[in-house]
Amino acid sequence: MLVSKICVNNHKYPAFSNATPQAKKETFLDKFHSCTKNSADMTDTILVPRTIFKGYLGIMTGTTLVTLGGLVNKTKHPKLFKSTMGAGLLASLYGTYAFVRPFIIKDTPGVATKK
């Protein structure tokens, strides 16, 4: 067997010299799918009740608004400081309520009571 006849399949050099390049361009998500070890990581879904999802959004929005209010100078812009802090605290309070409500109040609509 001659060493010169060994064909190496390398990424830079295709195995066949007459191979055609891909006609379809790889999209942004296709790049993630090709680089992940388990492709099911990108396509798995978890069913989350709507109220719990609203709770996550409320808590994240409230935290962002409180942080934004903390960055505003309290002495130069007192109205903006108070409004962002108040809105952030109210959003976090609603998010906490929406997150906890399905676990505490079992008879509310949207909460599964069947086993």
The whole-angstrom separation of Cα 73 and Cα 68 is 10
In this predicted model, what pLDDT tens digit does every residue of 50-106 receive, in sequence order?
Answer: 888 889 999 999 999 999 999 988 888 899 999 999 999 999 999 999 888 877 776
The total of other beta-carbon atoms located within 10 Å of residue 10's CB is 8
The mean predicted confidence, pLDDT, of the chain is 75
pLDDT value, residue 99: 85
Between 88 and 7, name the one with better pLDDT.
88
Neighbours of 17 (CB within 10 A): 7
**87, 81 in Cβ contact below 8 A?**
no
With beta carbons less than 8 A apart as the criterion, state whether 54 and 61 touch: no
Residue type, 25: K
**Cβ-based neighbour number of residue 58 at 10 Å:** 20
- State the pLDDT at residue 30: 76
SS3 74: coil
